[in-house]
Copies of this chain bind each other. A is one copy, B any other.
Amino acid sequence: MITSNSLIKPSLTKIHAFTEEQLQHFSEKLDYRTLKKKELLLGENQVSDGISFILSGSFRFFKKTSHSELTIKFFVETQWLADLESLLTQQPSTNNIEALEDSEIATISLRNIHYLMDAHPSFRKLQSLLADLAIPAAHLATIQSKSPDERYAELLAQHPQWVNRFPQMLIASYLGMTPETLSRVRARM
């Protein structure tokens, strides 16, 4: 608990100067869970009913299509994770969230987030945790407007550690290119 709080606290104090008492109040609402590699945190048709802080491990947010699985986002330790569309509408998800490694998470339910917001208006600031759950317009712009070489260079600049940590097939999918194109791009660089 002490270890996990030392990871979660900075993610909260970054968005607002919560008091020690508020942080304690928040941490009492967390549920801890471990997931094995390849285990689903959220499957299609399930409702995303809370947000999870990744204590260790990593996840991919993906969408199944008729002939493939598209990697939309990666999430790693010290990030908050949920399906934003499902969370906001409380409708079944059309996406999937899978552990890419054995992972540990701490989850706060939507019910408890609302409970905290009622208990103290400061907790309304938790809203900004949602920003990390959104698909950034910048990623869509990158996919649409940049060459495969530029896309890979951008990934290396922003998330150099992802390249060795995640399977190349998933990196290629995230960058909107085939694994073969990604191989060629890497060979050139």
Residues of A within 8 A of B (CB): 61, 63, 65, 67-68, 70, 72, 84-85, 88-90, 94-95, 114, 117-118, 121, 124, 127-128, 130-131, 134-141, 143-145, 173, 176
Classify the secondary structure of A's interface with B.
helix
**Contact between A65 and B141, CB atoms less than 8 A apart:** yes
Other-chain residue from B63, B128, B138 in contact with A88 (beta carbon distance below 8 A): B128
Q: Which residue of B lies closest to A15 (CB)?
A: B89
CB pairs A–B below 8 angstroms (20 shown): A63-B141, A65-B141, A67-B145, A70-B140, A72-B137, A72-B140, A84-B131, A89-B128, A89-B131, A90-B128, A95-B137, A117-B117, A118-B121, A127-B127, A130-B130, A134-B134, A135-B135, A135-B137, A143-B143, A143-B176
B137 touches A61 (CB 8 A): yes
Q: Are A137 and B88 in contact, with the CB atoms below 8 A?
A: no
Tell me the nearest residue of chain B to A142, going by C-beta. Answer: B65
